Every structure is written in C-alpha cells, then in structure tokens.
C-alpha cells in the first residue's frame, strides 16, 4: 500500500474522531459529585440585597469587627462601644477545599471577643461570614483570609 496525502488525511480524520470519542466516553464515565458551593444557593441569591444593606450598615460603624490569629486560635473582636448583651448572630467559617471543615456557631459574648480554638481551624484559606444584629440593626462582616 502506498502512503500518499489522501491516506494521511483519512488517518488524521480517524485519529481526530477517535480522540473525540475517547474524550466523550471518559467524560460521561467521570460522574463526580458536582454540586453548588452551598446547599441553599438560590435562597442566598434572593437575599443578596439584604446582605448588601448589612454590609453598608457595618461600614457605617465607627469601628468594625477585627480578627487576629493568636496562640490559642482566632480571636474575633467586636466594637468596644457596643453593649455585648445586645449583640446576637452567627459566625460561619467556610473552607472552600473541604466542606467537612466548615464551622458555624452562635455568637455568645462575655466581653467583646469570641475565640475560635486552633483545633477547629487548619492553616489555609477560609471565608469568614459574621451575620449579627445590634439594637434591631443587622450587620454583616465578610472576608477571605489565609489563616
């Protein structure tokens, strides 16, 4: 059999079709758990304007929340000029790489700080979301950090 340009085109065409067919078979077999970042994604999307309002309320505070890494864990400090009894809400730490490491707790203050122990946190990227109220005004603190 003589190899000419017509034979080369046919071989190239067959090779391309084989690659595409291989790719389709591999992708159809690869059924990983593809899911949304959060379980209630659509509900959160509907509440997005409320989050914007809460963020604006937090920006209008004299002093916003702060966090710092200490030897015992992550220390979250609330503004000193607020009464701790009137502060309520939730702290959520979201780990993008592993949802089993996510942390959620209610805010319980005795002074103006909350400590999240080191055994709950691994080094790496975290998304902090603190949704809290003071005197019936809602506030939101969101930040991506590397702990």
Provide the residue-wise pLDDT of the chain in tens; the chain has 147 residues: 677 888 889 999 999 999 999 998 888 876 655 555 666 777 777 788 888 888 888 888 888 888 888 888 888 888 888 888 888 899 998 888 777 888 888 888 878 888 888 888 888 888 899 998 988 889 999 988 887
Neighbours of 17 (CB within 10 A): 10
Long-range CB pairs of 12-18 (<8 Å, 24+ gap) are none
The domain ranges of the chain are 1-32, 41-146
- The per-residue pLDDT for 117 is 86
- The per-residue pLDDT for 17 is 96
Q: Read off the tokens for 117.
A: 């122990």
Exposure of 93 by Cβ count < 10 A (0-12 exposed, 13-18 middle, 19+ buried)?
buried
Q: Check: pTM over 0.85? Answer yes or no.
A: no
Helix, coil or strand: residue 9? helix
Q: Selecting from 3.40.50, 2.60.40, 1.10.10, 3.30.390, what CATH number does the domain 41-146 have?
A: 2.60.40
Helix, coil or strand: residue 68? strand
User: Which strand (E) or helix (H) includes residue 69?
Assistant: strand 66-69
């Amino acid at each position: 059999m003589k190899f000419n340009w017509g034979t080369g085109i046919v071989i190239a065409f067959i090779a391309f079709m084989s690659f595409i067919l291989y790719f389709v078979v591999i992708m159809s077999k690869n059924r990983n758990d593809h899911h949304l970042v959060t379980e209630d994604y659509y509900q959160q999307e509907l509440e997005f304007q409320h989050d914007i309002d809460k963020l604006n309320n937090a920006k209008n505070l004299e002093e916003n929340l702060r966090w710092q890494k200490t030897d015992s864990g992550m220390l979250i400090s609330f503004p000193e000029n607020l009464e701790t009894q009137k502060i309520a809400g939730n702290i959520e730490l979201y780990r993008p790489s592993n949802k089993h490491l996510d942390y959620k707790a209610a805010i319980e203050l005795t002074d103006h700080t909350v400590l999240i122990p080191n055994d709950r946190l691994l080094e790496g990227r975290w998304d902090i979301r603190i949704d809290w109220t003071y005197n019936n005004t809602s506030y939101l603190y969101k930040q991506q950090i590397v702990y």
